[in-house]
Amino acid sequence: MQQTTTQPRITVIPNQSVFKKSTFVIALAVLGGLTFLGAIISLVSAITLFSNASLPALSRSILSDAVVDMIVGTLMLASSRAFAQGKILTVWFLGASILVDSLYSFIRGYELHYLFIGLGCLFIWQMLKFKKEWEAA
């Protein structure tokens, strides 16, 4: 007599990404663009405060924040472009943007941007998964 069960069989699911590569490229470009846009707004605010000479210490702080945000935004946009071209350099650009932002926050005494660090690590993890798929193809 043959025994049958009603339980489903366990099958191995291949290691595939849930999202498409283009989704991550667009998300990274949007995040980098918003960071750069925020830096431009901060830069305009710093110039306005500096021209009024009412709060020069605050304008210097905002100006340094704007410069670092421009650097981080540029690194993220470069990372998005490199990722779209399938280059592993994207991991270095994104890692550098996370490192620059974290070091600046630490030096200035600001709280770390845990959401940015978490999203950046998620992006890097997904990029490395896509790299494995590129090598397999």
Split the chain (137 residues) into runs of 10 and give each run's mean pLDDT: 62 59 87 93 86 74 91 94 87 93 93 90 86 64
Which tokens sit at 101? 């932002």
Report the candidate in 79, 92, 82 with the shortest Cα–Cα distance to residue 31: 79
- SS3 percent helix, strand, coil of the chain, rounded to 5, is 75, 0, 25
Q: What is the dihedral of CA 93, 95, 98, 104, to 10 degrees?
A: -80
For the entire predicted model, the pTM comes to: 0.78
pLDDT of residue 8: 62
Q: Pick from 14, 13, 12, 21: which is nearest to 128 by CA?
A: 21
Domain edges within the chain: 22-132
Position 59 scores a pLDDT of: 78
